[in-house]
């Protein structure tokens, strides 16, 4: 087994839910660390006195289990391994390969004394059929690639590497754990990312949606990558891609907004992109039109488009969005009159308004970033995140924080 590096935030969520009568489901894009997390949890069980015979751990993409493609065969196979009259821990990796797996899982819960842990690499795992059968009886743990704090623990740096240099590596390579073995070799890292991306597109998208046009899918992916942090709509994307296609080929081919909307929905289901709605801060309501899209990991974006320093503003905005998700916020784009707040982040008893900019040094930028926050009438925390250091820390109660410090807080 390869060296396991702890990801305590996620492992603790599994430990806290151990022996709770809920199915634990870890979701996230392929190769973000779900299998390693289950290995870590398996080790935790052994270290805490659970006999190995009481732990059934299966990766369903292994050819050893190639015959277990339907829930009946799967149920019969696992039932023979369960130790009677004692608690068993069932750990199933990439369970979406088993058709109607949810029927077997519900039967295990009814027939045996079991604690169940599952991973899956696309949102079809949490399909309507599953939600109906196990409604209220599961907890989802949404796993993301490495945060910057985790990135610092994963990689080895020389003692003279500054924090800003480490952050620059994070911006360029992203947080997919597999890249650790390539030690920031750009060519090999891009090959690894391309392999993951191709697997996601082929297995989790095209195989499950055979009517999709691969060329159109790729065009939409590239457009979303290049417009991170920009307000878009399916119709506007369709118009741009239609015009580009007509210019390149000389042939008329329309890409309708509804087509774009369907493709983006499928990309979300494969955990490649997140779509974020706008929220009218003063009217306190969600807006149905226009929004932004963010990518699951910047390494993929840089692999597809190439890394450009000129994009840093949008890149760091993407990083802040992902960090807010890690901190369990529900995230929106804020509309305040005719201005915009980058993020409105909500929890049941908390709200946070955040602006993200590379620098606050110029008076024009300060005015642009502060004006929307000053227009918000409530007293929830308002923050501007930038790469600046040793600068004014507060403007009329609005905090100005260094982005790296905030990520490591």
What local confidence, expressed as pLDDT, does residue 325 receive? 98
Residue 202 binned pLDDT confidence (cut-offs 50, 70, 90): confident
- Residue of 32, 35, 41 lying closest to 12 (CA atoms): 41
How far is residue 228's CA from residue 210's CA, in Å, rounded to a whole number?
27
User: Do 193 and 88 fall within a single domain?
Assistant: no
Number of domains in the chain: 2
- Is residue 2 one of the residues assigned to a domain? no
Q: Alpha-carbon dihedral of residues 8, 32, 314, 322, nearest 10 degrees?
A: -40
User: Do 169 and 124 fall within a single domain?
Assistant: no
User: Do 356 and 256 fall within a single domain?
Assistant: yes
User: Do 114 and 173 fall within a single domain?
Assistant: no
What local confidence, expressed as pLDDT, does residue 45 receive? 98
User: Do 138 and 162 fall within a single domain?
Assistant: no
- Is residue 162 one of the residues assigned to a domain? yes
What local confidence, expressed as pLDDT, does residue 249 receive? 58
User: Do 153 and 290 fall within a single domain?
Assistant: yes
What local confidence, expressed as pLDDT, does residue 114 receive? 98
Residue 84 confidence (pLDDT) above 80:
yes
Q: Mean pLDDT for the chain?
A: 93
- Is residue 31 one of the residues assigned to a domain? yes
- Is residue 3 one of the residues assigned to a domain? no
Percent of the chain with pLDDT over 70: 97
Its domain, for residue 100, covers 8-142
How far is residue 226's CA from residue 319's CA, in Å, rounded to a whole number?
15
What local confidence, expressed as pLDDT, does residue 121 receive? 85
**DSSP state string for 62-74:** SGGGTT--BHHHH
When pLDDT is averaged across residues 175-187 and rounded to a whole number, the result is 95
> What is the torsional sign of CA 342, 345, 351, 354?
negative
What local confidence, expressed as pLDDT, does residue 2 receive? 58
Weakest-pLDDT range from 2-6, 204-208, 231-235: 2-6
What local confidence, expressed as pLDDT, does residue 4 receive? 82
Rg (CA), the chain: 23
Count Cβ atoms within 10 A of the Cβ of residue 160 and give its class: 0-12 exposed, 13-18 middle, 19 or more buried: exposed
- Is residue 1 one of the residues assigned to a domain? no
- Is residue 230 one of the residues assigned to a domain? yes
Write down which residue in 142, 168, 189 finishes a domain. 142
Write down which residue in 142, 177, 196 finishes a domain. 142
Q: What are phi and psi of 89, to 5 degrees?
A: -110, 115
Residue 98 confidence (pLDDT) above 60:
yes
User: Do 316 and 371 fall within a single domain?
Assistant: yes
Provide the CATH number for the domain around residue 77: 3.40.50.300
How far is residue 147's CA from residue 306's CA, in Å, rounded to a whole number?
21
Model pLDDT for residues 274-298, shown as the tens digit of each residue:
999 999 998 888 988 889 999 999 9
User: Do 136 and 153 fall within a single domain?
Assistant: no
Residue 391 confidence (pLDDT) above 60:
yes
Residue 145 confidence (pLDDT) above 90:
yes
For residue 324, give both structure tokens: 């807010």
When pLDDT is averaged across residues 62-68 and rounded to a whole number, the result is 96
User: Do 317 and 388 fall within a single domain?
Assistant: yes
- Is residue 211 one of the residues assigned to a domain? yes
**DSSP state string for 167-199:** HHHHHHH-S-GGGGGGTT-HHHHHHHHHHHHHH
Write down which residue in 118, 142, 166 finishes a domain. 142
What local confidence, expressed as pLDDT, does residue 106 receive? 93
- Is residue 114 one of the residues assigned to a domain? yes
User: Do 118 and 222 fall within a single domain?
Assistant: no
User: Do 238 and 325 fall within a single domain?
Assistant: yes
How far is residue 388's CA from residue 358's CA, in Å, rounded to a whole number?
8
Model pLDDT for residues 304-316, shown as the tens digit of each residue:
999 988 789 999 9
For residue 291, give both structure tokens: 């929004």
Q: Which helix (DSSP H) or strand (DSSP E) does residue 243 occupy?
A: helix 234-249
When pLDDT is averaged across residues 258-267 and rounded to a whole number, the result is 96
Weakest-pLDDT range from 68-72, 179-183, 200-204: 200-204
Weakest-pLDDT range from 51-60, 63-72, 110-119, 285-294: 285-294
Model pLDDT for residues 332-385, shown as the tens digit of each residue:
999 999 999 999 999 999 999 999 999 999 999 999 999 999 999 899 999 999
Partnered with residue 331 across adjacent β-strands are 345
What local confidence, expressed as pLDDT, does residue 238 receive? 95
**DSSP state string for 97-145:** GSBTHHHHHHHHHHHS-EEEEEEESSGGGG-HHHHHHSTTSEEEEE--S
User: Do 300 and 403 fall within a single domain?
Assistant: yes
């Amino acid at each position: 087994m390869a060296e396991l590096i702890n990801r305590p935030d996620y492992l603790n969520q599994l430990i806290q839910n151990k022996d709770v009568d809920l199915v634990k489901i870890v979701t996230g894009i392929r190769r973000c660390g779900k299998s390693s997390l289950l290995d870590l949890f398996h080790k935790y069980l052994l270290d805490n006195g659970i006999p190995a015979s009481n732990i059934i751990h299966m990766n369903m993409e292994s050819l050893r289990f190639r015959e277990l493609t339907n829930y009946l065969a799967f149920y019969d196979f696992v039932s023979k391994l369960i130790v009677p009259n004692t608690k068993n821990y069932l750990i199933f990796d990439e369970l979406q390969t088993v058709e109607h797996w949810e029927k077997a899982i519900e039967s295990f819960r009814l027939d045996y004394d079991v604690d169940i842990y599952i991973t899956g690499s696309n949102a079809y795992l949490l399909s309507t059929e599953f939600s109906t059968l196990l409604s209220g009886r599961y907890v989802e743990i949404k796993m993301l690639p490495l945060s910057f704090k985790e990135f610092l623990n994963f990689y080895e740096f020389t003692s003279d590497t500054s924090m800003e240099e480490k952050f620059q590596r994070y911006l360029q390579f992203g947080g997919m754990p597999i890249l650790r073995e390539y030690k920031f070799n750009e060519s090999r890292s891009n090959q690894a990312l391309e392999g993951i991306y191709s697997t996601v597109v082929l297995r989790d998208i095209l195989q499950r949606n055979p009517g999709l046009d691969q060329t159109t899918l790729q065009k939409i992916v590239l457009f979303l990558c290049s417009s991170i942090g920009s307000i878009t709509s399916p119709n506007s994307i369709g118009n741009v891609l239609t015009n580009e296609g007509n210019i390149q080929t000389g042939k008329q081919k329309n890409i309708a907004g509804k087509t774009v909307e369907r493709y983006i929905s499928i990309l979300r289901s494969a955990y490649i992109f997140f779509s974020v709605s706008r929220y009218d801060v003063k009217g306190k309501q969600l807006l149905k039109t226009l929004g932004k899209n963010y990518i699951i990991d910047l390494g993929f974006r840089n692999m597809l488009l190439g890394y450009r320093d000129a994009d840093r503003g949008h890149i760091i905005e993407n990083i802040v969005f992902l960090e807010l998700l890690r901190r369990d916020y529900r995230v929106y784009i804020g509309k305040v009159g005719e201005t915009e707040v980058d993020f409105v982040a909500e929890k049941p008893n908390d709200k946070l308004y955040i602006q993200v900019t590379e620098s606050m040094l110029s008076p024009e930028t300060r005015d642009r970033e502060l004006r929307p926050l000053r227009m918000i009438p409530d007293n929830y925390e308002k923050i501007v995140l930038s790469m600046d250091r040793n600068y004014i820390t507060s403007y009329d109660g609005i905090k100005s924080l260094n982005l790296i410090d905030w990520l490591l807080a």
